[in-house]
Amino acid sequence: MKKIITLLIAAVFVLTAFACAGPAGPSDGTTVPSGETAPAEETRPQSALPESDLDGFTVTFIGKAPDSGAFGVKDVAVEGEDGDAFNDAVYRRNRIIEEKYNCVIEFVPSPNVAVSTHVRPSIIAGDDYFDVIYDGLQPVVVLAQEESLIDLYSLEYFDFAKPWWDQAVCDELSILGALYITYGEHMIGPKSGLYCLFFSKQLAADYNLGDLYQIVRDNKWTMDTFASLAVQGKKDLDGDGKWTIADQYGHVTETYSGYTFMVAQGYNIAAKDENDMPVLTPIDDSVYARVDKMMMVLADPEITTYVDQPTGAADIWIDFWRASFVSGRMLFREGAMHDAPTLRDMDTDFGILPMPKFSEEQDRYYHTNSVYNAAMMCIPVSASDPDTVSFIVEAMAYESLYMLNPVYYEVVLQGKTFRDTESEEMLDIIFASKTFDIGAAFNWGGLQGVYTSICTSASSNFASRYAAVESRVISDMEKTIEIFGG
């Protein structure tokens, strides 16, 4: 094996293990937003990692190549400083850790964008080619059910109670007292993958929509309010009676919004009971009411247009999704946070808003990310020295809270992308209200796909679609519980 390392501990310490199987459902959103400026050096919580010489240990990460698109992994390792603030923060963080602990941090791009598929044969063979896997939530959940991942709670150096880890992950993605998948402040994928709403300030002014930020502050940013505003934006600009990329649209999105709009209204496919066991959310009147609101917005072609519907685009993502918004022909556009930097060359200003609530009575906002693509973290059973891996990753998460996260938030988003102080306020809301739905992670019976498939047509019948998958949903969940409970 390539990595049999003995830690040389210079101080005796006690590392208290914290189990994160907290109350079921999303975090209450009262924690400090992940984008908030890091505390000064003298006020920082201190890492419990001991002084150690890791004797050149190399920790190898694998994930989507940095240049493979919006979800490429750019936060693990870079070749050197190049003047870009985020790139240079990654480089400096790694040099501090490598020099302090005598180790090496390396990233290997997966030759296959389906990272979990690519690594499976190596895990089965017991090859320790890599130590940490970065891939989307649903793909790595498959690895967990195949018993190919290590329970992160069992590793010596992870301290998930510290602020450089996300407590919501522990609360929502642990299962029967074990945690196989998580993310920390060393990772931007779960943040840059958060879905939110962008809007054209010029079109909002043209249609006298008022101060949209104040609507949020006044707790009136609801599905009804959003529908009443977005419906004003659709216009056949050339008068030819055809809907092409040359026309103007009120709200443009993709079918994944069938799920993101349900989450925004406080719905999760499943939660957890007092034994950290997943429990399906009952399909009752409250769920039907949220489906109706979702369909009111997303199935009405006068309000919502899907990215593949207008004609005239050689590439719908470039020629329509991006170009039409940048050119001021979209009033609202739902998208992931990583889209924001691609829009900063607009001639007119744009802003960002949280996803709308179900009603004013909803106590908080909820935001989710791409469960297919936004990189989460796990450690395979084939890693030869997982405790040492946990040591280095813990150090990366700790340093990133103070070195990487402020650069992403204050420079990449606030400084380079958004041009107003109100957007900073909206970013705080969005980052503080992210949620991880264990039901979407496991996607028992394909239930998540019911919401994404019905949203485009007003004639879709949710009740019949759910009835068709209900028995499989229950059966699949029972199998998952059996796997982890056994």
pLDDT tens figures, 257-293: 999 999 999 999 999 999 999 999 999 999 999 999 9
8 A C-beta contact, residue 158 and residue 391: no
8 A C-beta contact, residue 341 and residue 198: no
Mean pLDDT on 110-130: 92
- Regarding pTM above 0.85, the answer is yes
Using a pLDDT cut of 70, give the percent of the chain over it: 91
Q: Is pLDDT above 80 for 21?
A: no
Degrees to nearest 5, angle at CA 248 with 194 and 229: 65
- In the numeric block, the tokens 């009262």 are attached to 30
* Domain spans, the chain: 41-191+371-417, 195-367+435-485
Q: Is pLDDT above 90 for 472?
A: yes
Q: Which helix (H) or strand (E) holds 252?
A: strand 249-253
8 A C-beta contact, residue 249 and residue 330: yes
Burial of 199 (0-12, 13-18, 19+ CB in 10 A): buried
- In the numeric block, the tokens 């503080």 are attached to 432
pLDDT in tens, 151-186: 999 999 999 999 999 888 888 999 999 999 999 999
Q: Is pLDDT above 50 for 395?
A: yes
**So what's the pLDDT on residue 39?**
53
Q: Which helix (H) or strand (E) holds 305?
A: strand 304-306
| Pairing assessment for the beta strands 195-200 and 330-336 based on DSSP bridges | antiparallel
- The amino acid sitting at 210 is G
8 A C-beta contact, residue 456 and residue 385: no
**So what's the pLDDT on residue 452?**
95
Pair of tokens at residue 389: 């891996």
Residue in 291, 301, 307 with CA at minimum distance from that of residue 258: 291
Mean pLDDT on 443-470: 95
pLDDT in tens, 401-428: 999 998 988 877 876 677 778 888 999 9
Q: Is pLDDT above 70 for 10?
A: no
CATH topology of domain 195-367+435-485: D-Maltodextrin-Binding Protein; domain 2 (3.40.190)
Q: How far apart are CA 137 and CA 438, in angstroms?
A: 10
Q: Which residues of 3-30 are buried (b: 16+ CB within 10 A; e: fewer)?
A: bebebeeeeeeeeeeeebbeebbbbebe
**So what's the pLDDT on residue 340?**
85
Architecture of domain 41-191+371-417: 3-Layer(aba) Sandwich (3.40)
One fold for 41-191+371-417 and 195-367+435-485: yes
Q: Which helix (H) or strand (E) holds 107?
A: strand 103-109
Mean pLDDT on 241-265: 96
